[in-house]
Chain A
Amino acid sequence: MKILVPLKRVADPDNANKVKVNAGKLETTGLEWKPNPFDEYAVETALRLTENGANTKARLGEVIVVTFGPKETETTLRGALATGADRAIRVDATDDQLDGDVIARALKAIAEQEKPDLILCGKQAVDGDANQVGQLVAEYLGWPQATFAGSIVSEDDKSLLVVREVDGGTISLRVSFPAVVSVDLRIVAPKSVKSKHTADTHTYADGVRFAALMAIMAAKKKPLVEMKLADLVGADTALKIKYDAFELPPARKAGIKVKTVAELVEKLKSEAKAL
């Protein structure tokens, strides 16, 4: 199985409350770049689908990671290579050249060259929270999609059974290759990904794997190629969404601490009129 995984770096999501706005511009100064967590889950999922969990060193498929950004975003790619991805592509671009639609069209062009069985992506990047690239690229390619995957069963080399996490429950779909799958949080639970390469009795560690030091060194030698955005999307470089300004949300009025349950009920009734 050959899997293409798009990656994005985001400003440290655990410190997102430290973003600042200056004259309408968003500033993430002081926040460390991290891989988008959902994209890390997608890499982990891709690895689980292309290995025997009992012997992860022997690769049984190919995982190609791709990111869009300046040279420094190669750090994100190297990180994924260190955890096991096989090779990487960086599409040279700056943020002001990109929106979800441009990225989807560029991924389409890459998919047409690489012919993967699967594009596996995070369901959203936790900076813009737009939740659209996977669906867009699926439509541009004319491929089926299974969004918000909470678990995946790889039954054969032709299709996947995907349980999607949706409002109020789940929806199970079977998608035939080539397809797009976007992953949700629980895809990295110990038993969420079943592959024919791995015994049913195998239990993965919860979450994503970490790279060993040796693997980090080895990742520096794995293939990483650069592509030009214009070579992928041609002359159609206009952005379909334009961000004009940013602002901080209105601060919540400072609350109070109550001492007893009785006081809480009293306040909810008489003050907040919430009961």
Chain B
Amino acid sequence: MSNILVIAELHDGHVRKSTHSAIAFARQAGHPFSILVLGQGAKAAAAEVTAFGAAKVIVVDDAYLANPVAERLAPSIAAVAKSGGFDVVVVTASSFGKDVAPRVASKLAAGYASDISSVSAEGGKFTYKRPVYAGNAFATCEVTTAVQVVSVRQSEFAPAEPSGGASPIEDAPLAAKDPAAERVEFVALGEAKSERPDLGEAKVIVSGGRALKEKFAEVLDPLAGLLGAAVGASRAACDAGYAPAELQVGQTGRVVAPKLYFAIGISGAIQHLAGMKGSKTIVAINKDPDAPIFQVADYGLVADLFTAVPELVTELKKQS
């Protein structure tokens, strides 16, 4: 029987919803799991994850962990994994998870399977699938070490819902500090303020490409607002400065799989498709009938987006 440790991501005193994907992994694996909440204010936030069926919720609450700095977090994660006898450590493959997980793996002499899309626990052995080559192939792999570290793709592990019960909360001490942490100074968090849902959590995403030019927000905002959608962008739109970098959807940006994805003025480069191909329904609006995006779109509309998108807004308003 494995013993899984789920690492919660703490932000603004709350457990980020992305953590629910790592909890979903633990449930799918079907082995007992506990959740580690660490950071400043972790004790108060721990209550947010006591109803997910965890054996316990372990808390390391210390001002030393006020900011997400891998060199500060990794020692305590590794220490809890060791002292609690955990042999699988899992975190959601957000930028937080990707940053810290390898350091934890190194401390635990563990193999690290990153950004996995599914888990199988047949015969007591964990095997993972993970996308490679921008999602154009899937690899089945296993970790050969006694302890394993895993990061899970948020878009492939639907967030776990609370299952009731009340996991006991247990305090764990802050681990001895790493000398490396002395040589990194947290300067600032630049948070993009947006009233829209996070790309990783949105049910509908309206994404735009370079074709929108300076009218990126002007054209997309009414549609996104109407649908309660998150706004995404292609790399080309971000590089050209029409959209901020954190909106980028793709192999190297956010990987998303909403119920409905609008690709507007996006040609459909391989790197973009890698980030949204898993969406349930894909709509493409592009004036180039040969754009590769139409090969993955469920519904394609060959049209000038500057007239089609406002028309779409009008039509949706009419029907609602």
Q: Which residues of chain A have a CB within 8 Å of any CB of chain B?
A: 11, 13-17, 19, 21, 26, 38, 99-101, 104, 123-124, 126-132, 134-136, 138-140, 142-148, 150, 161, 163-176, 179, 184-186, 189, 238-249, 252-253, 255-262, 264-265, 267-269, 272, 274-275
Contacts and interface: CB of A to CB of B under 8 A. Distances in A.
A241 B144 contact: yes
Interface string B99-143: 111110111001111110000000000010011111111111111
A7 to B, nearest CB: 17
Nearest to A20: B137
Contacts of B179: 142
Contacts of A11: 133
Contacts of A269: 319
B132 A127 contact: yes
A29 B174 CA distance: 51
A207 B171 CA distance: 49
A146 B112 CA distance: 19
B35 to A, nearest CB: 20
A139 B68 CA distance: 16
15 contacts: A13-B270, A17-B270, A129-B132, A132-B105, A135-B102, A143-B183, A169-B189, A176-B183, A240-B144, A248-B136, A249-B135, A255-B299, A261-B301, A264-B299, A275-B227
Contact of A139 (B102, B113, B133, B302): B102
Contacts of B315: 261-262, 265
B2 interface: no
Interface in B52-83: 68-71, 74
The A interface, classified by DSSP as helix, strand, loop or mixed, is mixed
Interface of B: 18, 68-71, 74, 94-96, 98-103, 105-107, 110-115, 127, 130-145, 178-181, 183-192, 198-200, 227, 235, 238-239, 245-246, 248, 251-252, 254, 259-260, 269-271, 273, 277, 280-283, 289, 294, 296-303, 308, 311-312, 315-316, 319
Contact of A275 (B106, B138, B178, B260): B260
Nearest to A162: B187
A261 B101 CA distance: 45
A260 B103 CA distance: 52
B10 to A, nearest CB: 14
Contacts of B178: 142
